[in-house]
A and B are shown apart, each in its own frame.
Chain A
Amino acid sequence: MDGNPTAATPVISVRDLHKWYSGVHALRGVSLDIPHGQALGLVGDNGAGKSTLISILSGLHQADSGEIRVDGDPVRMRGPRDAMNLGIETIYQYNSMVPTMTIARNLFIGREPLKAQVGGFGILDERRMRAESVGAIADVGLHLRSPDALVGELSGGQRQGVAIARALYFKSKVLILDEPTNHLSVKETAKVIDYVRTLSEQGMTCIFISHNLQHVFASCSRIVAMAHGEIVLDKPTGETSLDEVQNVL
């Protein structure tokens, strides 16, 4: 199956992943296949290992053992850039935007379009950054006054919207959202959940992490529950219930 993806090949396939943090066995043999276009809800109690799993998938940490395949090919991710280049984009509760920078600058951090360059360093194409960020933000249905507004002036929900716009703009295949709705108002939370639903309808693969089971049930087609570094439940949303998930946690 190597290098020969078919529609049935999972976009991400994880086998027997282990991760230790100086003594803490945070992942104890996690295996997971995620098909294209699925919206997967990842739930679990504090310290269950959810963030650890996705930090490995987003290149922030490396697993101690186990295998990751993307579209069937085994991959080694040495940093977030490797994951981004493979089409995996991650949105965190706080960590995805620099509040002291403008929307246009934020959209392109690390992937700036350049007018001229030598050896990877070059002059920013600011006109393009501004124009394209306006388009990218409009594409997710956000209405912001200007690409020059500081991200720090946006509401939490708007920030997550910009982060999602960024992922879409760079045509990521997989969007990972780690508790993106924490500290958001009810209205803004609804908006973010709406995004997740729309994205999966458009065929984007999403991994949505939340402590709020209602939110996960409302937006995902499959529920994966973790406890103590292992997967303890993995079912289509339709075949499980809030009670069942709550019981295994």
Chain B
Amino acid sequence: MRRILKKSLQKPELAATLLLVVLIVVFEYTSNGFFLSAANLRGFLGLMPETALVAVGVTLLMISGEFDLSVGSVFALMPMTMAVLMVHGWPFLLAMSAGLLLCVVIGFLNGWLTLRFEIPSFITTLGMLFMARSLTVVISGGFPPRFDLNAVPAPLFAAFVGPGGLFRASLLWFLAIALLVGFILGRTNFGNWVRATGGFLPAAQAMGIPTVRVKIAAFIICSVLAGFAGMLQVMRLGSPLPSSGEGMELQAVAAAVIGGTSLWGGIGSILGGVIGAILIRVIDNGLVLSQVDGSWFKLAVGALTILAVIGNTWLRKRGQAMKVSEH
């Protein structure tokens, strides 16, 4: 019994899960029961997969010991590239592949520049944030191209599919991808290398793990997920905006950290990142429904980030200090 308690106290996502439950109850109350209504959930579950997917990638990368501040820009650049190519007559599949390939290149560059020149990924990806955003605006030519929604299989990504149309297809994509990444991190040898690389780099190197390749792979996965999430949003809205995804990088880091991911790498879980992202969306949505001035949103997220990290640290320490009987 104590062992189970100890184990769950050490789960990185515990504090965020508890907070999520509390907030849902509070908002359900302050919105007079509208928060958990089907009408509100429809909207909520349509938005959530997009930010949560970005958080999945950022969480994985942070566990490997690196950062990516360029995800918000990549979120905008990928669908913009795709839309522009389609305006030039490219078929959907080819344009999507080209967009995702661009994400692979950006992720690779983020990783390669960081590791080759031994500079902090904070700097590399900060630079990439500006460059990818600028590219997005440049290729959009100032006026965003409209997707010809008949030329793209938008329903495949954005159609309401749940029971009673409760959620969109994007939720299924998100669940499949999050489960896959969670599985890779938790149950495969590659995941073990990611944790070792982020947990203590010299040990991972001494044990012969190809740490550079592991990190570059994590950078690429992070970029591709951000781009794919951006595409999901455009499938929902119909038109790529040069400004979409602004500020998303910090929300994604906040989501990862709220979900128990350590800034120093090695500690964290995909589930935690997802819960963190959901928490942020819940606050956004809940404040609006409770008729609180929307300007309070960032204050709430900021306070939550600090609170969650304090909570995580405290719980983990309690868990470690807990003695369980021998054998």
Inter-chain CB contacts under 8 Å: number: 91
Closest to B7 in A: A148
Q: Which residues, 74 to 107 on A, are CB-close (under 8 Å) to B?
A: 79-81, 84, 90, 92, 94-101, 105
Q: Which residues, 179 to 196 on B, are CB-close (under 8 Å) to A?
A: 187-193, 195-196
User: Are B192 and A124 in contact, with the CB atoms below 8 A?
Assistant: yes
Binds A, one of B153-161, B200-208, B246-254, B307-315: B200-208
Interface SS of B by simple majority: helix
Q: Given A114-B189, A124-B188, A126-B187, are A80 and B196 neighbors across the interface (CB < 8 Å)?
A: no
Closest to B198 in A: A100
Interface string of A169-211 (1 = CB under 8 A from B): 0000000000000000000000000000000000000000000
User: Are A100 and B195 in contact, with the CB atoms below 8 A?
Assistant: yes
CA distance A58 to B202 in the complex (A): 14
User: Are B208 and A80 in contact, with the CB atoms below 8 A?
Assistant: yes
Interface SS of A by simple majority: loop
Q: Given A84-B208, A121-B188, A121-B190, are A96 and B203 neighbors across the interface (CB < 8 Å)?
A: yes
CA distance A124 to B200 in the complex (A): 20
Closest to B327 in A: A145
User: Are B208 and A98 in contact, with the CB atoms below 8 A?
Assistant: no
User: Are A98 and B189 in contact, with the CB atoms below 8 A?
Assistant: no
Q: Given A98-B195, A98-B266, A153-B320, are A109 and B204 neighbors across the interface (CB < 8 Å)?
A: yes
Q: Which residues of A contact B192 (CB under 8 A)?
A: 101, 105, 108-109, 112, 124
User: Are B200 and A100 in contact, with the CB atoms below 8 A?
Assistant: yes
User: Are A95 and B206 in contact, with the CB atoms below 8 A?
Assistant: yes
Q: Which residues of A contact B7 (CB under 8 A)?
A: 148
Assess whether B199 is interfacial by the CB under 8 Å rule: yes
Q: Which residues of B contact A81 (CB under 8 A)?
A: 208
Q: Which residues, 189 to 239 on B, are CB-close (under 8 Å) to A?
A: 189-193, 195-196, 199-200, 202-209
Taking the closest CB of chain A, its distance from the CB of B326, in whole angstroms, is 5
Chain A interface residue count, CB cutoff 8 Å, equals 36
Assess whether B87 is interfacial by the CB under 8 Å rule: no
Assess whether B267 is interfacial by the CB under 8 Å rule: yes
User: Are B187 and A124 in contact, with the CB atoms below 8 A?
Assistant: yes
Chain B interface residue count, CB cutoff 8 Å, equals 30
Assess whether B172 is interfacial by the CB under 8 Å rule: no
Assess whether B324 is interfacial by the CB under 8 Å rule: yes
Contact of B195 among A95, A105, A148 (CB under 8 A): A105
Taking the closest CB of chain B, its distance from the CB of A117, in whole angstroms, is 8
Assess whether A60 is interfacial by the CB under 8 Å rule: yes
Q: Given A114-B189, A123-B188, are A94 and B207 neighbors across the interface (CB < 8 Å)?
A: no
User: Are B209 and A110 in contact, with the CB atoms below 8 A?
Assistant: yes
CA distance A97 to B320 in the complex (A): 18
Assess whether A122 is interfacial by the CB under 8 Å rule: yes
Q: Which residues, 109 to 157 on A, are CB-close (under 8 Å) to B?
A: 109-112, 114, 117, 121-124, 126, 143, 145-146, 148, 150, 153
Taking the closest CB of chain A, its distance from the CB of B267, in whole angstroms, is 5
Contact of A109 among B190, B207, B267 (CB under 8 A): B207
Taking the closest CB of chain A, its distance from the CB of B263, in whole angstroms, is 13
Taking the closest CB of chain B, its distance from the CB of A75, in whole angstroms, is 15
Taking the closest CB of chain B, its distance from the CB of A157, in whole angstroms, is 17
User: Are B203 and A95 in contact, with the CB atoms below 8 A?
Assistant: yes
User: Are B203 and A100 in contact, with the CB atoms below 8 A?
Assistant: no
Closest to A115 in B: B187
Q: Given A121-B189, A122-B189, A124-B189, are A101 and B208 neighbors across the interface (CB < 8 Å)?
A: no
Q: Which residues of B contact A (CB under 8 A)?
A: 3, 7, 10, 187-193, 195-196, 199-200, 202-209, 262, 266-267, 320, 324-327
* 16 interchain pairs, CB-CB under 8 A: A84-B207, A92-B206, A97-B200, A98-B200, A98-B204, A100-B200, A100-B266, A101-B195, A105-B196, A109-B203, A110-B204, A110-B209, A111-B207, A122-B188, A124-B187, A124-B188
Q: Which 4 A-B pairs have the closest CB atoms?
A: A81-B208, A100-B266, A80-B208, A98-B199
Q: A100-B262, A110-B196 are in contact. List 10 more A-B contacts (CB 8 A).
A: A81-B208, A95-B203, A96-B203, A109-B203, A109-B207, A112-B192, A121-B188, A121-B189, A122-B189, A124-B188
Q: Which residues of A contact B (CB under 8 A)?
A: 58-60, 79-81, 84, 90, 92, 94-101, 105, 108-112, 114, 117, 121-124, 126, 143, 145-146, 148, 150, 153
